[in-house]
Structure 1
Amino acid sequence: MGRLMQDMVSSVYPDFSVRSLQEISTAILDVGMHREPTRQDALRIHREILGQVEASLREPETPRARPGRMRGVAGRLLARVRDRSPLLVRPWHAGQARLADTRKTRLIEQQRLSMDLLGKALDDPELAAVFDTFDREVDDTRRRQYLFANAMYANVLFAWRLELITKEELFGYLRGMLQNPIFREYWDASRGLRASLPATSDEAEVGRMTDQLITDLDEADTDEWWIVGHAPDE
């Protein structure tokens, strides 16, 4: 079995030394013959292969070597690592993309749960009372309006966090929402909640941006509210 695995590895990496082929074959067999392979196993074998590539790049040329041969060999090895071993090699950019996708998936699940809970509160005044953490006393009708305003705000904030809209687009949506007096009331009544957020969080950042936008709108000497203010850079 060891010889067969070595021959298989050799067919992919013919420029590797016999010792290198033996080490990689042993690493693969050690995993595949005894247990279910894990991501850590794949990364370990990946490091074994890239280690041989780096060794080839560092190895000095001998008089028998053709000019540029070692660099050419290393280049071919890198190409084979990338093109022929997709199950072992995980480019860093691909790993970062997967992390971003995982974060977005978690955000989507969290948003789905939040909207489900909020929907139940909007349908049931007794549940809505549990959501009432505003800075003022309100009746059932106004409480439901505040909760709906919160849902509107959470929706555009969520879209920005998922990169479905730009910060400039988020700014434009908020500027329009602030033309509604009930949304303004909700924003003022929820000020205490925002004050408790970590200063570096996305929601705290957007909260500060919205507060500044309110100030700009109140101080503007024009009726063309849609041109007031400027969105911060991304």
Structure 2
Amino acid sequence: MPTRNSAARSIGSAMVAGLARLRSPFARGAARRRNQDEFFAELLRQLARMTEEVRRANLIQEYRIAMEQMDRTMDDPSLADARSTLGGISEAKRRQMIFANRQYASLLLSYRIGTFDWRELLGHLRILCRNSLFAEYWDRTGEHRRSLPADSVERRVGEAVDTIMEELADDPDEWWVVGHLGEPPCP
């Protein structure tokens, strides 16, 4: 019997060793797959960051083009008629309205590219809304904002300005606390 047990042990040991050898490539394969998965996950994160940077660069470029057009309309009154939809105002008032639009657009861009967070944007808007020329611009351009998609950032920021304007009308002495709105729109 001792020979039989030692033979069985030899066979058992050989089988265990054989199974270990069989598992070894699978274990290495699993580790290799894990490494590949980690590599691809990191690659996707980097691609997402690059995509966001390209989106921000495009926003900045679009803003730059719009501001160049506004500058040209402010410099050349004959172009202002083509750019502005506000009727019945003097050339000087039109320039002021274009400049007010430019100030608002600058704040909106700063929020959209991440320079300001929602609270900082509201703080800047509270100050801007205290300006009577901006308030007039905002009132005259209400119809423009109604055409924006309900889920757009610009529409949501416009609604925040509307709230600030309403609260300022109710209590102008408390200007620094008006416009406390909930969740910010995604830039």
Q: CA deviation digits over 1:134-174, x for unaligned, max 9?
A: 2x511000000000000000000001110111011111111
> How much has 1:67 moved relative to structure 2?
9.9
> How much has 1:65 moved relative to structure 2?
2.5
Q: Which runs of 5+ in 2 are unaligned?
A: 1-16
Report the residue type matching 1:225 in the other structure: W
Report the equivalent of 1:75. 31
Report the residue type matching 1:158 in the other structure: L
Per the alignment, in what secondary structure is the counterpart of residue 75 of structure 1?
helix
Report the residue type matching 2:69 in the other structure: L
Q: CA deviation digits over 1:61-93, x for unaligned, max 9?
A: x9522697434542245436766xxxx987222
2:128 to 177, 193, 197: 177
Give the stretch that moved more between structures: 185-194 or 88-97. Answer: 88-97
Q: Does 1:102 align with 2:58?
A: no
Q: CA deviation digits over 1:25-68, x for unaligned, max 9?
A: xxxxxxxxxxxxxxxxxxxxxxxxxxxxxxxxxxxxx9522697
Per the alignment, in what secondary structure is the counterpart of residue 65 of structure 1?
helix
- Residues 111 and 117 in structure 2, CA contact (< 8 A), matched pair in contact too: yes
Report the equivalent of 2:4. none
- Residues 175 and 226 in structure 1, CA contact (< 8 A), matched pair in contact too: yes
Report the equivalent of 1:153. 104
Per the alignment, in what secondary structure is the counterpart of residue 233 of structure 1?
coil
Q: Is the alpha carbon distance of 1:79 and 1:116 closer, same or farther for their aligned partners in structure 2, counting shifts above 3 Å? A: same
Q: Which runs of 5+ in 1 are unaligned?
A: 1-61
Q: Does 1:65 align with 2:20?
A: yes
* Rounded Cα–Cα distance in structure 1 between residues aligned with 2:75 and 2:47: 42
Report the residue type matching 1:195 in the other structure: R
Q: Is the alpha carbon distance of 1:89 and 1:170 closer, same or farther for their aligned partners in structure 2, counting shifts above 3 Å? A: closer
* Rounded Cα–Cα distance in structure 2 between residues aligned with 1:125 and 1:201: 32
Report the equivalent of 1:128. 80
CA RMSD of aligned residues (A): 2.5
**Which structure: larger Rg?**
2
More helix by share: 2
Q: TM-score, normalised to structure 1's length?
A: 0.64
2:158 to 203, 207, 212: 207
* Rounded Cα–Cα distance in structure 1 between residues aligned with 2:180 and 2:44: 36
* Rounded Cα–Cα distance in structure 1 between residues aligned with 2:90 and 2:42: 56
* Rounded Cα–Cα distance in structure 2 between residues aligned with 1:162 and 1:77: 37
- Residues 167 and 231 in structure 1, CA contact (< 8 A), matched pair in contact too: no
* Rounded Cα–Cα distance in structure 1 between residues aligned with 2:178 and 2:57: 35
Q: Does 1:141 align with 2:92?
A: yes
1:232 to 176, 182, 186: 182
- Residues 115 and 151 in structure 1, CA contact (< 8 A), matched pair in contact too: yes
Give the stretch that moved more between structures: 160-169 or 69-78. Answer: 69-78
Aligned length: 167
* Rounded Cα–Cα distance in structure 2 between residues aligned with 1:223 and 1:107: 36
> How much has 1:219 moved relative to structure 2?
1.9
> How much has 1:186 moved relative to structure 2?
0.3
Query: Highest relative contact order (Cα 8 Å, sep 6+), 1 or 2?
Result: 2
